[in-house]
Chain A
Amino acid sequence: MIIQRLSQSWMGLLWTVCIPVCFFALAANAQQASSDSSQTDSMRIVQMDPVIVTATRSEKILEDVAVPTSIITVDVMEREGALRLGDVLANQMGIALFDDHGTGMQVQGFASDYTLVLLDGEPMIGRTAGTLDVDRISVKGLSHLEIVRGPSSSLYGSEALAGVVNLVTAPPAESMQGAASFRIGSHATSDMMLQMEGGLKRTGLRLVLNRYASGGYDLTPATYGPTTPSFADWTVDLRSRFVISDRIRVRLGARGALENQESVFASGTNEFLEERYDDEGRRLEWSIHPEIELQLSSKFRLNTTLYGTGYQTETYHRRQNDGALNYEDKFDQTLVKAEMQLDMLWGAKHMTNLGGGVIGEQIGGSRYGATRGDSGPESTQSYLFAQHEWYPSGLLHFNTSIRFDHHSDYTGRVTPKFAVLIRPSDKIRLRASVGSGFKAPAFRQLYLSFTNPAGGYSVFGSLPMLAGIRRLEAEGQIEQKFFDLSKMDPLRAESSIAFNLGGSIEPFKWLHVQANVFHNNVRDLIETQPVAQKTNGAFVYGYFNLARIYTRGIELETKIQSHLTSNALVDITLGYQFLQARDREVVSALKEGTVFGRYSNGRDYRLRLGDYTGMFGRSPHSASLRAAYTNTTAGVIASIHGRWRSRYGYRDLDGNNLANRSDEFVPDYAVLGVAVTKTFSLVRAVEAAVQIGLDNAFDHTYPTLVPSLPGRRGYVSVQFNF
């Protein structure tokens, strides 16, 4: 078992590295007890312009970025008691979480597939049915999150169609310090974190060790098996920096995460036919990220990045009465990437970034038939990008970027973007951008080769399709082909053209209002279509570029930050999003008047465009709240945070593929959390923070509709910073 072996070696690595470092850090701390502890002081009130890197692949002040961008700092994550990425994103304006093979995030109305998630600028992989589960990612050790809404494919390529979320770690400190925390809460949930950090001017190292575990919970006691299974999740994160000379800086990052999950379930709803199973799952992910920065001259900088990441899952279902292995599924994905980026500063008014790279990807697993040789499918990709920024005056800032992607298994793409920032005064900024985004065909759409043993149907990705059909034909399994498959065009990437128009205003020092209007026009969305019928009556399905959708809406964010007294601060962020996500085919059918609904009493009624509630899983209205009160003298931070979303469709019962009846919607709901943190000094240079919190205070649950929403949960945590 590769995973077991790897997990053992991970644990070995962990203990061999962690224990000496731990002692080192403690010893160093004892020696330098007088060292400045203010760096770990979470009580500080610092208001400075945050710097972000995601929007332009170079350091920029948040307010001076021409595209809609948000930042969430570690202070906000800590005061809200956030442990996982999902906890942080849940209360963020413009982001909705949605359950589909894990908890995925929606940005500007797009499913999780369309948002790129980066760790220090490099892509995180491992998606199930397109969803990157935001609850699997620990936020321990992060300095902040950067969220860019709207397409960024002109800089990042595939998946950055709806937006980019970048998890940024802080550079290791220039002193010795550490932190340890322990938290316990409802559903036997626990979280332990140990962070050790040591550094000098020229080198620095930080190691974060995190264990997150839960006993799971069961919202449907009538059915056998929990709603969410019990699990234990380990994350190790290592970041280091080395200044070789004034001109050469090296960074090395690495992360490993391992999860073991155990559950039970029953198949069949009839008590007499019920068969009970044990469900066991394992997940391993790792990444390694060395980076060299060469300051060629005062105006030229060259960054070379190597990146490797892997994601593996295993699932086993064993029948309880005889232990027989009933189902087994494995998935294995590896990505290696090499990239160079040259930053050029041409005086005060022009800046250019040129870059290029290669990506190799390999997948293996039960559902992916080999396309070349015996190993799983492999693909290679190369790309070039360029960005030019021009500041003709203090009033104007133009940003133009373009990227070319060439891929071995689908048609290449050119994606441009143009953005402008206008600054009529220090307090007003206007932003406009038009850009293209794309998403490469997913693995299943390219490589899947799968026949359902129970249903008898087959699904082929675009590459194994022809061979798969020929094999079935040779076996006499094909009754009828619907068209000449040899004339199939290769699958194209899904692509969009997006417009974002907005701005921000700061009428008073304590008030900041930001608004953005977006429109995303998407074509070539990939869907399945039957391509042949088998002799058993079942179909063979393939993937085709078919659907066209648009998403449009308004994003609003208001920030109020004010000192009540010299030692008390209120910090309130209110967010609102209006969203329409619509399928163009449905829109034209509604305009034609050929779409009907059926009341539960059986009467049919014609639906109009105004009755269209949009694609499933999208709330037309959503709001978010982050409010905190900080008292520096008392060392207290109180936070109230939450979100509300209007009802959204999730299923169709009356045969029109739309949500129109009340029993086809998840009702609107609000989730509110509170947390209070008290900080005090234990002994010199050791600071303790105690936090008490309550998540989902209103105790809203929808057991079958929103399984990721547990009821009210309390927790207590203690953290030591030394």
Chain B
Amino acid sequence: MINIKETVSNYRNIRFMMMAFIIFVAACDSADPDPDPIPLETQVAEDVPADPASGRDPTTGRAISNNLFTLYDLDANQVVLSSSVTDPAQRQSDSTGTVWDLGFKSTTIIFNGGSSGPGEASAQILRQSFDEVVEAPAAGYISDGENADCPQVQTPIGPRPGSTLAICTGSDNGWYNYDSNAGLISPIPGRTIVMKTATGNYASLRILSYYRGNPNPPDTNAPSRYYTFEFIIQTDGSRDLRNTVSMK
């Protein structure tokens, strides 16, 4: 049975609330002295090399690589120093500054801070989807070399310690899963890296692919160790990851 009286009163309530909302929004608008917020754009970095195979060992046939990091600058959305650059002098000069924010080598990700570099970068991994993270958390950021909480694997003889990097290494511990049957590295969905850049700005980031060309579905026949990731960087110093007031 429908209670007509109640339904009518509900309509009244809704109308009243809508009016109140419009007045409130208008009031805010006129009272706010700041410039209009500008929506932040999601940027994509494609096929960032992370120490891919540079050849094959002639005797064992195994892939060999330079065993070097690629360093990346989020502000400029570009590679600062590629893992293919082997010149020690250039690597030294490019890696000591605060231009780069994070680095990639194989499945390992480092941040320019702590034990990895001279910057202020630190990071944490959230168990939320990229879209859900509308504001960077105030706390919880860890510098490389200071992580004591990498997921411990329960074994009969106690927990296995993880690495001390901000983003834990190993399958199912950080940003990826490794399927040993298919030999496939796939980013864990619903894991968002939230970080402070080398200069202290907030950014959120998620990995889309570990294979060149971002094949969909993931394909182990594509060369591996090529990151495609998307990120949002806030340059006004706030933790807001939706809008910015900075006129970049």
**In whole angstroms, what is the CA distance A483 to B155 when docked?**
10
Q: Which residues on the B side are within 8 Å of A530 (C-beta)? A: 160, 170
Q: Measured between C-beta atoms, what is the minimum distance from B189 to chain A in Å?
A: 4
B131 lies within 8 A of A594 (CB)? no
**In whole angstroms, what is the CA distance A454 to B183 when docked?**
13
Which one, A482, A651, A656, contacts B161 given CB within 8 A?
A482
Q: Which residues on the B side are within 8 Å of A484 (C-beta)? A: 157
Q: Which residue of B lies closest to A656 (CB)?
A: B189
Q: Which of B110-118, B213-221, B234-242 lies at the interface with chain A?
A: B213-221
Q: Which residues on the A side are within 8 Å of B122 (C-beta)? A: none
**In whole angstroms, what is the CA distance A455 to B184 when docked?**
14
Q: Which residue of B lies closest to A491 (CB)?
A: B156
Tell yes or no: A595 within 8 A of B by CB.
Answer: yes
Q: Measured between C-beta atoms, what is the minimum distance from B187 to chain A in Å?
A: 5
**In whole angstroms, what is the CA distance A606 to B216 when docked?**
20
For chain B, the bracket of interface size reads 35 or more
Tell yes or no: B195 within 8 A of A by CB.
Answer: no
For chains A and B in complex, what number of residue pairs have CB atoms within 8 angstroms? 87
**In whole angstroms, what is the CA distance A651 to B130 when docked?**
24
B186 lies within 8 A of A483 (CB)? no
Tell yes or no: A198 within 8 A of B by CB.
Answer: no
A655 lies within 8 A of B155 (CB)? no
**In whole angstroms, what is the CA distance A544 to B129 when docked?**
32
Q: Measured between C-beta atoms, what is the minimum distance from A98 to chain B in Å?
A: 14
A657 lies within 8 A of B179 (CB)? yes
B179 lies within 8 A of A651 (CB)? yes
Q: Which residues on the B side are within 8 Å of A529 (C-beta)? A: 153, 155, 160
Q: Which residue of A lies closest to B209 (CB)?
A: A602
Which one, A482, A595, A604, contacts B160 given CB within 8 A?
A482
A600 lies within 8 A of B216 (CB)? yes
Q: Which residues on the B side are within 8 Å of A604 (C-beta)? A: 129-131, 189-190, 206
A656 lies within 8 A of B188 (CB)? yes
Tell yes or no: B72 within 8 A of A by CB.
Answer: no
B217 lies within 8 A of A657 (CB)? no
Q: Measured between C-beta atoms, what is the minimum distance from B149 to chain A in Å?
A: 15
Q: Which of A555-614 contact B (CB under 8 A)?
A: 594-598, 600, 602-606
Is chain A's binding surface mostly helix, strand, loop or mixed? loop
Q: Which residues on the A side are within 8 Å of B27 (C-beta)? A: none
Q: Which residues on the B side are within 8 Å of A230 (C-beta)? A: none
A655 lies within 8 A of B60 (CB)? no
A-contact 0/1 string along B82-107, CB 8 Å cutoff: 00000000000000000000000000
Tell yes or no: B177 within 8 A of A by CB.
Answer: yes
Q: Which residue of B lies closest to A651 (CB)?
A: B182
Q: Which of B135-174 contact A (CB under 8 A)?
A: 153-158, 160-161, 170, 172
Q: Which residue of B lies closest to A660 (CB)?
A: B189
B-contact 0/1 string along A446-473, CB 8 Å cutoff: 0000000111100000000000000000
B189 lies within 8 A of A598 (CB)? yes
A597 lies within 8 A of B189 (CB)? yes
A546 lies within 8 A of B154 (CB)? yes
Q: Which residues on the B side are within 8 Å of A78 (C-beta)? A: none
* B187, B189, B208, B218: residue with the most chain A Cβ atoms closer than 10 Å: B189
B189 lies within 8 A of A596 (CB)? yes
Q: Measured between C-beta atoms, what is the minimum distance from B66 to chain A in Å?
A: 13
Tell yes or no: B248 within 8 A of A by CB.
Answer: no
A656 lies within 8 A of B160 (CB)? no
Tell yes or no: B5 within 8 A of A by CB.
Answer: no
**In whole angstroms, what is the CA distance A651 to B156 when docked?**
28
B186 lies within 8 A of A454 (CB)? no
Tell yes or no: B58 within 8 A of A by CB.
Answer: no
Q: Which residues on the B side are within 8 Å of A64 (C-beta)? A: none
Q: Measured between C-beta atoms, what is the minimum distance from A602 to chain B in Å?
A: 6
A-contact 0/1 string along B195-233, CB 8 Å cutoff: 000000000001010000000111001000000000000
Tell yes or no: A339 within 8 A of B by CB.
Answer: no
B156 lies within 8 A of A596 (CB)? no
Q: Measured between C-beta atoms, what is the minimum distance from B179 to chain A in Å?
A: 6
Q: Measured between C-beta atoms, what is the minimum distance from B184 to chain A in Å?
A: 8
Q: Which residues on the A side are within 8 Å of B172 (C-beta)? A: 657
Tell yes or no: B35 within 8 A of A by CB.
Answer: no
B-contact 0/1 string along A667-681, CB 8 Å cutoff: 000000000000000
Given contacts A482-B160, A655-B177, contact A594 B216 (CB under 8 A): no
B-contact 0/1 string along A639-662, CB 8 Å cutoff: 000000000000111111100000
Given contacts A269-B221, A483-B157, contact A652 B177 (CB under 8 A): yes
Q: Which residues on the B side are within 8 Å of A28 (C-beta)? A: none
Tell yes or no: A545 within 8 A of B by CB.
Answer: yes
A454 lies within 8 A of B157 (CB)? no
Tell yes or no: A634 within 8 A of B by CB.
Answer: no
Q: Measured between C-beta atoms, what is the minimum distance from B168 to chain A in Å?
A: 13
**In whole angstroms, what is the CA distance A235 to B161 when docked?**
53
Q: Which residues on the A side are within 8 Å of B189 (C-beta)? A: 596-598, 604-605, 654-656
A545 lies within 8 A of B156 (CB)? yes
A653 lies within 8 A of B217 (CB)? yes
Q: Measured between C-beta atoms, what is the minimum distance from B229 to chain A in Å?
A: 11
* B154, B190, B218: residue with the most chain A Cβ atoms closer than 10 Å: B190
Q: Which residues on the A side are within 8 Å of B127 (C-beta)? A: 594
Tell yes or no: A328 within 8 A of B by CB.
Answer: no
**In whole angstroms, what is the CA distance A652 to B179 when docked?**
8
B186 lies within 8 A of A653 (CB)? yes
Given contacts A544-B155, A606-B190, A657-B172, contact A600 B177 (CB under 8 A): no
A/B interface sample: 5 pairs, CB < 8 A: A483-B155, A544-B156, A545-B156, A594-B190, A653-B186
Q: Which 8 A-B pairs have the closest CB atoms?
A: A596-B190, A655-B186, A598-B189, A604-B129, A596-B189, A594-B127, A653-B217, A655-B188
Interface residues of A (CB under 8 A from B): 269, 453-456, 482-485, 487-489, 529-531, 544-546, 594-598, 600, 602-606, 651-657, 663
Q: A595-B190, A598-B189, A606-B190 are in contact. List 9 more A-B contacts (CB 8 A).
A: A453-B60, A454-B60, A488-B157, A544-B156, A604-B130, A604-B189, A606-B129, A656-B188, A657-B177
